[in-house]
Protein backbone atom coordinates (compact mmCIF):
# COMPACT_ATOMS: atom_id res chain seq x y z
CA UNK A 1 0.00 0.00 0.00
CA UNK A 2 1.18 3.48 -0.90
CA UNK A 3 -0.02 6.26 1.45
CA UNK A 4 -0.17 10.00 0.80
CA UNK A 5 -0.94 12.65 3.39
CA UNK A 6 -3.55 14.97 1.86
CA UNK A 7 -3.49 18.75 1.94
CA UNK A 8 -5.43 20.42 4.74
CA UNK A 9 -8.29 22.81 4.03
CA UNK A 10 -6.79 25.63 6.10
CA UNK A 11 -3.26 26.88 6.72
CA UNK A 12 -3.49 26.31 10.46
CA UNK A 13 -4.04 22.55 10.06
CA UNK A 14 -1.15 20.19 9.42
CA UNK A 15 -3.12 17.21 8.10
CA UNK A 16 -6.12 16.99 5.77
CA UNK A 17 -6.48 13.26 5.34
CA UNK A 18 -4.74 10.08 4.23
CA UNK A 19 -4.79 8.72 0.69
CA UNK A 20 -4.05 4.98 0.65
CA UNK A 21 -3.61 3.39 -2.77
CA UNK A 22 -3.67 -0.35 -3.35
CA UNK A 23 -2.13 -2.31 -6.19
CA UNK A 24 -4.24 -3.95 -8.93
CA UNK A 25 -5.83 -7.33 -8.23
CA UNK A 26 -6.34 -6.57 -4.52
CA UNK A 27 -9.60 -8.32 -3.57
CA UNK A 28 -11.69 -7.26 -0.56
CA UNK A 29 -12.79 -9.64 2.19
CA UNK A 30 -15.79 -7.39 2.89
CA UNK A 31 -17.75 -6.44 -0.19
CA UNK A 32 -21.23 -5.53 -1.46
CA UNK A 33 -22.88 -7.79 -3.99
CA UNK A 34 -25.93 -6.78 -6.04
CA UNK A 35 -28.54 -8.48 -8.22
CA UNK A 36 -31.74 -7.65 -10.15
CA UNK A 37 -31.25 -3.91 -9.81
CA UNK A 38 -32.50 -3.63 -6.23
CA UNK A 39 -31.15 -6.57 -4.22
CA UNK A 40 -27.96 -6.25 -2.20
CA UNK A 41 -25.92 -8.18 0.34
CA UNK A 42 -22.77 -7.29 2.25
CA UNK A 43 -20.51 -10.34 2.38
CA UNK A 44 -17.56 -10.90 4.73
CA UNK A 45 -15.62 -14.01 3.83
CA UNK A 46 -18.23 -16.78 3.62
CA UNK A 47 -20.80 -14.89 5.72
CA UNK A 48 -23.61 -12.56 4.75
CA UNK A 49 -23.38 -9.56 7.12
CA UNK A 50 -26.64 -8.01 6.00
CA UNK A 51 -29.10 -8.17 3.14
CA UNK A 52 -31.11 -5.33 1.67
CA UNK A 53 -33.78 -4.61 -0.90
CA UNK A 54 -34.25 -1.18 -2.47
CA UNK A 55 -37.79 0.09 -3.01
CA UNK A 56 -38.95 -0.02 -6.62
CA UNK A 57 -39.59 3.73 -6.43
CA UNK A 58 -36.09 4.29 -5.00
CA UNK A 59 -37.47 6.01 -1.87
CA UNK A 60 -35.57 3.83 0.58
CA UNK A 61 -34.17 0.41 1.39
CA UNK A 62 -35.20 -2.37 3.76
CA UNK A 63 -32.38 -4.25 5.47
CA UNK A 64 -31.71 -7.24 7.70
CA UNK A 65 -28.57 -7.70 9.82
CA UNK A 66 -27.31 -11.23 10.52
CA UNK A 67 -25.03 -10.59 13.55
CA UNK A 68 -22.10 -12.18 11.71
CA UNK A 69 -20.01 -9.06 11.23
CA UNK A 70 -16.41 -9.06 12.51
CA UNK A 71 -14.27 -5.96 12.74
CA UNK A 72 -11.19 -5.95 10.48
CA UNK A 73 -9.34 -3.95 13.17
CA UNK A 74 -7.88 -5.74 16.19
CA UNK A 75 -9.10 -4.45 19.60
CA UNK A 76 -7.50 -1.14 20.57
CA UNK A 77 -5.83 -1.30 23.97
CA UNK A 78 -6.13 1.47 26.54
CA UNK A 79 -2.34 1.82 26.72
CA UNK A 80 -2.21 2.48 22.97
CA UNK A 81 -4.99 5.06 23.20
CA UNK A 82 -3.19 6.90 26.00
CA UNK A 83 0.14 6.75 24.15
CA UNK A 84 -1.27 8.52 21.09
CA UNK A 85 -2.51 11.48 23.16
CA UNK A 86 -3.58 14.89 21.89
CA UNK A 87 -7.16 13.92 21.05
CA UNK A 88 -8.73 16.02 18.32
CA UNK A 89 -5.49 17.52 17.03
CA UNK A 90 -4.60 17.01 13.33
CA UNK A 91 -1.56 14.90 14.29
CA UNK A 92 -3.81 12.71 16.47
CA UNK A 93 -6.15 12.03 13.54
CA UNK A 94 -3.16 11.38 11.29
CA UNK A 95 -1.70 8.76 13.63
CA UNK A 96 -5.01 6.94 13.94
CA UNK A 97 -5.57 7.12 10.18
CA UNK A 98 -2.21 5.41 9.58
CA UNK A 99 -3.03 2.88 12.30
CA UNK A 100 -6.38 2.03 10.68
CA UNK A 101 -4.91 1.95 7.16
CA UNK A 102 -2.29 -0.57 8.26
CA UNK A 103 -4.89 -2.71 10.01
CA UNK A 104 -7.23 -2.68 6.99
CA UNK A 105 -4.40 -3.54 4.60
CA UNK A 106 -3.38 -6.52 6.74
CA UNK A 107 -6.89 -7.80 7.37
CA UNK A 108 -8.43 -10.52 5.16
CA UNK A 109 -11.96 -9.36 6.14
CA UNK A 110 -11.77 -5.63 5.35
CA UNK A 111 -13.26 -3.61 2.46
CA UNK A 112 -10.09 -2.38 0.71
CA UNK A 113 -9.62 -3.29 -2.93
CA UNK A 114 -7.44 -1.97 -5.72
CA UNK A 115 -7.44 1.75 -6.40
CA UNK A 116 -7.26 5.00 -4.46
CA UNK A 117 -9.00 5.57 -1.10
CA UNK A 118 -9.44 8.40 1.37
CA UNK A 119 -9.36 8.37 5.17
CA UNK A 120 -10.45 11.74 6.49
CA UNK A 121 -12.44 13.60 9.14
CA UNK A 122 -15.15 14.47 6.59
CA UNK A 123 -18.58 13.45 7.86
CA UNK A 124 -21.45 14.68 5.71
CA UNK A 125 -24.64 15.34 7.65
CA UNK A 126 -26.90 16.40 4.80
CA UNK A 127 -30.41 15.00 5.26
CA UNK A 128 -29.82 13.64 8.79
CA UNK A 129 -32.26 14.60 11.55
CA UNK A 130 -31.27 17.56 13.70
CA UNK A 131 -32.10 17.73 17.39
CA UNK A 132 -31.20 20.11 20.18
CA UNK A 133 -30.41 17.37 22.68
CA UNK A 134 -26.63 17.65 22.61
CA UNK A 135 -24.19 15.12 21.09
CA UNK A 136 -26.01 12.10 22.53
CA UNK A 137 -29.36 13.18 21.10
CA UNK A 138 -27.90 14.03 17.69
CA UNK A 139 -26.13 10.70 17.37
CA UNK A 140 -29.07 8.67 18.58
CA UNK A 141 -31.18 10.35 15.91
CA UNK A 142 -28.72 9.57 13.13
CA UNK A 143 -28.00 5.96 14.17
CA UNK A 144 -29.84 3.37 12.05
CA UNK A 145 -29.84 0.84 14.87
CA UNK A 146 -33.18 -0.97 14.58
CA UNK A 147 -32.21 -4.60 15.11
CA UNK A 148 -32.11 -7.00 13.40
CA UNK A 149 -34.12 -5.40 10.60
CA UNK A 150 -34.98 -1.84 9.67
CA UNK A 151 -35.61 0.65 6.93
CA UNK A 152 -33.55 3.55 5.58
CA UNK A 153 -35.88 6.30 4.38
CA UNK A 154 -33.84 8.20 1.83
CA UNK A 155 -35.95 11.30 2.38
CA UNK A 156 -35.16 11.50 6.11
CA UNK A 157 -32.32 9.05 6.86
CA UNK A 158 -29.73 9.67 4.17
CA UNK A 159 -26.16 10.12 5.44
CA UNK A 160 -27.08 8.33 8.66
CA UNK A 161 -24.79 5.86 10.46
CA UNK A 162 -25.55 2.12 10.41
CA UNK A 163 -24.02 -0.31 12.92
CA UNK A 164 -23.04 -3.62 11.33
CA UNK A 165 -23.86 -5.43 14.55
CA UNK A 166 -26.06 -4.75 17.56
CA UNK A 167 -24.99 -1.64 19.47
CA UNK A 168 -23.81 -2.55 23.00
CA UNK A 169 -25.68 -1.03 25.98
CA UNK A 170 -24.10 1.66 28.22
CA UNK A 171 -23.37 -0.88 30.97
CA UNK A 172 -21.54 -3.32 28.68
CA UNK A 173 -18.03 -4.08 29.98
CA UNK A 174 -16.25 -2.77 26.89
CA UNK A 175 -18.39 0.36 26.87
CA UNK A 176 -17.57 1.03 30.53
CA UNK A 177 -13.86 0.82 29.74
CA UNK A 178 -14.23 3.16 26.78
CA UNK A 179 -16.35 5.58 28.83
CA UNK A 180 -13.37 5.99 31.14
CA UNK A 181 -11.16 6.76 28.13
CA UNK A 182 -13.77 9.24 26.90
CA UNK A 183 -13.66 11.09 30.22
CA UNK A 184 -9.85 11.10 30.06
CA UNK A 185 -9.93 12.55 26.53
CA UNK A 186 -8.07 9.64 24.91
CA UNK A 187 -10.92 7.67 23.28
CA UNK A 188 -9.84 6.56 19.75
CA UNK A 189 -11.99 7.62 16.80
CA UNK A 190 -14.79 5.52 15.34
CA UNK A 191 -13.98 4.15 11.88
CA UNK A 192 -16.81 4.66 9.38
CA UNK A 193 -17.13 3.53 5.76
CA UNK A 194 -19.16 5.46 3.20
CA UNK A 195 -21.57 2.94 1.59
CA UNK A 196 -23.24 4.62 -1.38
CA UNK A 197 -25.59 1.68 -2.03
CA UNK A 198 -27.33 2.51 1.25
CA UNK A 199 -26.59 6.27 1.04
CA UNK A 200 -25.22 6.17 4.58
CA UNK A 201 -22.11 5.39 6.61
CA UNK A 202 -21.57 1.99 8.20
CA UNK A 203 -19.43 1.36 11.29
CA UNK A 204 -16.35 -0.66 10.38
CA UNK A 205 -14.81 -0.46 13.85
CA UNK A 206 -15.81 1.25 17.07
CA UNK A 207 -19.36 0.19 17.95
CA UNK A 208 -18.48 0.19 21.65
CA UNK A 209 -16.47 3.44 21.36
CA UNK A 210 -19.44 5.17 19.77
CA UNK A 211 -21.74 3.81 22.49
CA UNK A 212 -19.33 5.12 25.12
CA UNK A 213 -19.19 8.62 23.66
CA UNK A 214 -22.98 8.76 23.40
CA UNK A 215 -23.35 7.50 27.00
CA UNK A 216 -21.03 10.33 28.13
CA UNK A 217 -22.92 12.85 25.94
CA UNK A 218 -19.69 13.66 24.09
CA UNK A 219 -19.26 14.27 20.37
CA UNK A 220 -17.64 11.12 18.97
CA UNK A 221 -14.49 11.60 16.94
CA UNK A 222 -14.65 9.77 13.61
CA UNK A 223 -12.51 8.88 10.63
CA UNK A 224 -14.36 8.05 7.41
CA UNK A 225 -13.15 5.66 4.73
CA UNK A 226 -14.33 6.07 1.15
CA UNK A 227 -13.15 5.46 -2.37
CA UNK A 228 -11.31 8.46 -3.77
CA UNK A 229 -13.01 10.46 -6.53
CA UNK A 230 -12.10 9.43 -10.06
CA UNK A 231 -9.45 11.50 -11.83
CA UNK A 232 -12.14 12.86 -14.17
CA UNK A 233 -14.38 13.92 -11.29
CA UNK A 234 -11.48 15.43 -9.36
CA UNK A 235 -10.34 17.35 -12.43
CA UNK A 236 -13.84 18.72 -13.04
CA UNK A 237 -14.19 19.78 -9.40
CA UNK A 238 -10.79 21.45 -9.47
CA UNK A 239 -11.66 23.30 -12.68
CA UNK A 240 -14.91 24.59 -11.14
CA UNK A 241 -13.14 25.79 -7.99
CA UNK A 242 -10.42 27.57 -9.99
CA UNK A 243 -12.99 29.12 -12.30
CA UNK A 244 -14.90 30.56 -9.33
CA UNK A 245 -11.67 31.91 -7.82
CA UNK A 246 -10.49 33.51 -11.05
CA UNK A 247 -13.92 35.09 -11.60
CA UNK A 248 -13.89 36.55 -8.11
CA UNK A 249 -10.38 37.94 -8.52
CA UNK A 250 -11.24 39.44 -11.90
CA UNK A 251 -14.12 41.32 -10.29
CA UNK A 252 -11.82 42.58 -7.52
CA UNK A 253 -9.25 43.69 -10.08
CA UNK A 254 -11.85 45.14 -12.47
CA UNK A 255 -12.43 48.72 -13.58
CA UNK A 256 -13.89 49.66 -10.19
CA UNK A 257 -11.47 48.09 -7.69
CA UNK A 258 -12.22 48.11 -4.00
CA UNK A 259 -10.30 50.50 -1.79
CA UNK A 260 -9.22 47.58 0.39
CA UNK A 261 -9.35 44.22 -1.39
CA UNK A 262 -7.45 42.26 1.25
CA UNK A 263 -10.51 40.89 3.08
CA UNK A 264 -12.47 39.66 -0.01
CA UNK A 265 -9.27 38.36 -1.63
CA UNK A 266 -8.43 36.45 1.53
CA UNK A 267 -11.97 35.03 1.67
CA UNK A 268 -11.70 33.92 -1.97
CA UNK A 269 -8.38 32.17 -1.25
CA UNK A 270 -9.81 30.38 1.77
CA UNK A 271 -12.85 29.29 -0.24
CA UNK A 272 -10.59 27.95 -2.98
CA UNK A 273 -8.54 25.96 -0.44
CA UNK A 274 -11.72 24.52 1.11
CA UNK A 275 -13.17 23.56 -2.27
CA UNK A 276 -9.94 21.91 -3.41
CA UNK A 277 -9.78 19.98 -0.14
CA UNK A 278 -13.42 18.86 -0.54
CA UNK A 279 -12.61 17.60 -4.03
CA UNK A 280 -9.65 15.63 -2.69
CA UNK A 281 -11.57 13.96 0.16
CA UNK A 282 -14.91 13.60 -1.64
CA UNK A 283 -16.89 10.36 -1.42
CA UNK A 284 -16.90 8.31 -4.64
CA UNK A 285 -19.52 5.58 -5.16
CA UNK A 286 -18.87 2.29 -3.40
CA UNK A 287 -17.89 -0.50 -5.76
CA UNK A 288 -20.17 -3.55 -5.87
CA UNK A 289 -19.82 -7.02 -7.34
CA UNK A 290 -22.35 -9.24 -9.11
CA UNK A 291 -24.15 -11.51 -6.66
CA UNK A 292 -23.52 -15.21 -7.40
CA UNK A 293 -26.61 -17.17 -8.37
CA UNK A 294 -26.23 -19.45 -5.34
CA UNK A 295 -26.40 -16.47 -2.98
CA UNK A 296 -29.64 -15.15 -4.50
CA UNK A 297 -31.63 -18.01 -3.04
CA UNK A 298 -29.47 -18.85 -0.03
CA UNK A 299 -30.04 -17.94 3.62
CA UNK A 300 -29.81 -14.26 4.50
CA UNK A 301 -30.71 -12.96 1.04
CA UNK A 302 -33.29 -10.25 0.57
CA UNK A 303 -36.94 -11.05 0.20
CA UNK A 304 -37.89 -11.52 -3.46
pLDDT 10s digits, 91-125? 899 999 999 999 999 999 999 999 999 998 888 76
Residue 4: band (very low, low, confident or very high) from pLDDT cuts 50, 70, 90: confident
The beta strand positions in 123-172, using DSSP E, are: 149-153, 161-162
Q: Is residue 132 packed enough to be buried (19+ CB in 10 Å), middle (13-18) or exposed (0-12)?
A: exposed
| CA torsion through residues 280, 8, 26, 302, sign | negative
Q: How confident is the model at residue 170 (pLDDT cuts 50, 70, 90)?
A: very high
- Kindly indicate the confidence band of residue 300, based on its pLDDT and cuts at 50, 70 and 90: very low
As a whole number, the mean pLDDT across the chain is: 85
Which range (166-180, 227-241, 279-293) has the least confidence?
227-241
* CB-based contact 160:210 (threshold 8 Å): no
Measured in residues, the chain has a length of: 304
Q: Give the separation between CA 260 and CA 63, rounded to whole angstroms.
A: 57
Q: What is the pTM of this model?
A: 0.82
Buried b (16+ CB within 10 A) or exposed e, 259-295: eeeeeeeeebeeebbebbbebbbbbbebebeebeeeb
Q: Where are the alpha helices (DSSP H) in 21-152?
A: 78-84, 90-106, 134-142
β-strand partners of 149: 64
Question: What distance separates the 2 farthest-apart alpha carbons in the chain?
Answer: 72
Amino acid sequence: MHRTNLTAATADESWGGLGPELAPATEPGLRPEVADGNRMVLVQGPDVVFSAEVDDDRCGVEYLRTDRYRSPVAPLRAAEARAVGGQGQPSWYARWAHRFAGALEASPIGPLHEGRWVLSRRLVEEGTPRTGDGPAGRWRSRLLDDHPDGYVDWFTGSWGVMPLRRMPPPDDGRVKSYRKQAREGVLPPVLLWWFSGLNCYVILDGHARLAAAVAEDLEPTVLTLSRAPSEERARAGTDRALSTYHLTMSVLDGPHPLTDRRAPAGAASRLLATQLHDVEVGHAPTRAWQMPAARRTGPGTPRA
